[in-house]
């Protein structure tokens, strides 16, 4: 794909500083960009590469003042990182122009498939499924009975979506993820045997949600496990039955959230954090990596450690904790002097 500087400026909402006819065919890092490539300067520590890069076009902050001659054509924007993200999305969308159904795909006649949709090889679409227009289903995807998927969504290969699950518009589900599997619930009978709790609810994923590879979202016992608008979930995340994730919350890799916990809007959950069941986490809560949350958290809390405590308190405590061996030696010496 070939774009001129004017084309790029139009896509990202920028202003051309240099040759408007300069063209690019690919994207590159600024430190090793070559001719006919486009790069961006989103971090001041890479400023030096602005003058040495061979990239033909570079996206920069609108008020950047060059200290030396710049050979590349510049596209000046309010935020280079956001502008480059728009360009990445543009390039990605150009790749996904294929429509239609692969011959090896199994599509039940009682399903409804929107216009300009693609379904890849060996995928299975069960009865009662409703898929919106311009949605792309990769290879070897399983979509169970009565699943609803909105328009312009993308389901990568080897995803399994169990029956009755609902996905909104503009969702992205990466390879290996399972949506709607059984929740983990058992009751002991009089003989101590584990009796399985049947989970007859579903998973409801709203619009503009992205879920990374090999994550699992369990269906509710009754009602729905809910992932609200704009949530972003990394790889290898476990979300248990009846959990609710608030709008625009971001969850990093290897997080586990136990059943029936409710997370508020705009929360940030660090990698490998664990959140207990039946808890209420407020809005804008920050949970640091490897934190264990065992009680409710008020809105705007920032916590760390296991069990979780206030982030600043944890940092203060850690100063003493890492010096604990020295402190114990000093105490031992004092006890010897006191002959205790």
CA–CA gap between residue 118 and residue 138 (Å, rounded): 8
Q: In what order do the strands lie in the sheet with 309-310?
A: 100-101, 118-119, 136-137, 154-155, 172-173, 210-211, 232-233, 250-251, 268-269, 286-287, 302-304, 309-310
Integer angstrom CA distances of residue 208 from 161, 167, 283: 17, 10, 19
Q: Are strands 256-257 and 302-304 parallel, antiparallel or unpaired?
A: unpaired
Catalytic residues: 241
149/280 Cα distance (integer angstroms): 29
Which CATH number belongs to the domain containing residue 122 in this structure?
Answer: 2.160.10.10
Number of domains forming the structure of the chain: 2
DSSP 8-state assignment for residue 32: G
34 and 109 co-located in one domain: no
Average pLDDT over residues 199-204: 96
Q: Express each pLDDT in 242-294 by its tens digit.
A: 999 999 999 999 999 999 999 999 999 999 999 999 999 999 999 999 999 99
On the CB side of 177, CA atoms within 13 Å amount to 26
Q: Is residue 334 part of a domain?
A: no
Which of 82-96, 115-129, 224-238, 278-292 is the least confident region? 82-96
Share the mean pLDDT of the chain: 94
| Same structural domain, 77 and 190 | no
List pLDDT tens digits, range 295-336.
Answer: 999 999 999 999 999 999 999 888 888 888 888 888 888 888
- Say whether both 89 and 113 belong to one domain: no
Residue 150 and residue 38 share a domain: no
In 145-208, at which residue ranges do the beta strands (DSSP E only) sit? 148-149, 154-155, 160-161, 166-167, 172-173, 178-181, 186-188, 194-196, 202-205
The pLDDT assigned to 14 comes to: 93
Does any domain span residue 329? no
Domain that holds residue 64: 3-95
Q: Quote the percentage of the chain above a pLDDT of 70.
A: 99
């Amino acid at each position: 794909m070939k774009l001129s500087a004017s084309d790029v400026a139009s896509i990202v909402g920028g202003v051309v500083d240099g040759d408007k006819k300069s063209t690019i065919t690919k994207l590159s890092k600024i430190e090793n960009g070559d001719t006919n490539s486009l790069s961006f300067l989103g971090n001041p520590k890479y400023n030096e590469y602005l003058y040495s890069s061979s990239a033909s076009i570079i996206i920069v902050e609108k008020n950047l003042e060059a200290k030396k001659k710049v050979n590349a054509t510049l596209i000046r924007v309010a935020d280079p990182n956001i502008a480059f993200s728009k360009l990445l999305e543009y390039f990605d969308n150009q790749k996904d122009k294929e429509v239609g159904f692969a011959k090896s795909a199994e599509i039940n006649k009682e399903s409804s498939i929107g216009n300009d949709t693609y379904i890849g090889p060996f995928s299975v679409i069960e009865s009662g499924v409703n898929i919106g227009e311009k949605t792309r289903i990769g290879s070897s995807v399983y979509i169970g009975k009565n699943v609803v998927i909105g328009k312009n969504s993308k389901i990568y290969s080897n995803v399994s979506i169990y029956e009755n699950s609902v996905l909104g518009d503009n969702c992205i589900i990466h390879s290996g993820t399972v949506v709607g599997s059984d929740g983990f619930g058992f009751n002991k009978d009089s003989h101590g045997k584990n009796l399985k709790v049947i989970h007859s609810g579903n998973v409801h994923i709203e619009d503009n949600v992205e879920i990374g590879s090999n994550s699992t979202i369990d269906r509710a016992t009754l009602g729905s496990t809910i992932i609200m608008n704009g949530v972003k979930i990394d790889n290898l995340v476990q979300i248990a039955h009846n959990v609710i994730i608030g709008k625009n919350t971001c969850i990093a890799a290897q997080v586990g959230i136990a059943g029936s916990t409710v997370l508020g809007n705009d929360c940030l959950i660090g990698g490998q954090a664990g959140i207990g069941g039946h808890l209420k986490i407020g809005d804008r809560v920050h949970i640091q990596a490897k934190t264990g949350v065992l009680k409710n958290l008020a809105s705007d809390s920032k916590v760390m450690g296991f069990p979780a405590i206030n982030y600043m308190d944890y940092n203060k405590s850690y100063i003493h904790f890492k010096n604990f061996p020295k402190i114990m030696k000093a105490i031992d010496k004092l006890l010897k002097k006191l002959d205790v």
